[in-house]
Structure 1
Amino acid sequence: MEKFVGKWELAENAGDMRSYLRHLNTSESDIEQFSSILTDIGKLCQQAVLEGDDDLLVTVIHDGEVLDEDHLKLGTNFEAKTHDGRDIIYSTTIDGGVLTIIESGAYEATTIMEVEGDALYSKLIAGKGDNSIVVERKYIRV
């Protein structure tokens, strides 16, 4: 978990964030608000802080403003709410240096993250199988 700790700035984004958000049943007004923010290279950051041995606090920041905070509890399922109040269940695992976050409930999504040097690679997958939407991102440590 320690290698994920730090501040990471979005450097590359490949994929259609609007389609990804639609696949998560995000409202059109939220898609309008967040799709450009979530792909804003150089201004969107994730900051990860280790809390204890198995908890990672991830804060999403855009241009200095906190957008979201998630407490990821390694190896456990836990309930949370989306920013618009929908119930989801997180399941977070780490295997071979790869952090996998599965979200289920109001939607199905998987995030796979891996650190190589000063780069964090993130694959966002909405849905499962042939109908899934994938967005791939690269962050650099700042």
Structure 2
Amino acid sequence: MSGRLEGKVAVITGAGKGIGRASAKALAREGAHVVITSRTKSDLDSLAEEIAALGTGARALVVPADVSSEADVDRLAKAAFEEFGQVDILVNNAGVGKNGTVSTLTTEDFDWIMNTNMRSTWLCTKAFFPPMIKRQSGSVIFVGSVAG
């Protein structure tokens, strides 16, 4: 079965659950190979099984990572390019939240939220966008959600 994205490669952050998981499956349904990442390997493994069961020929590369860590993003990019040779789509989806107010949240809470929700998009875009510019082809998608 061929889809609109056959031969394309997509990296999806925060792919273990919610919007990221649904995005990875939607891209794979259209034939894209997917590089799926989140902090929880078991979520990624079950997603990879679901993608294989779609029968589209799309492959899922599982790369557990903390995308707020530059070393982890570098490892993610290296794995993606070694496996597929290119990345056509980056879905910056990783995000976290914690209920509270300025009075109740700690500086550590703030740093965790900002590093995951903001720094990760910078690090991933920095790793994957320059090769897209060089090829004059590619898409970077930023996902935002108040609910996850």
Compute the TM-score of the two structures, normalised by the length of structure 2.
0.32
The structure with more radius of gyration: 2
Query: Which is richer in strand?
Result: 1
Query: Which is richer in helix?
Result: 2
Compute the TM-score of the two structures, normalised by the length of structure 1.
0.33
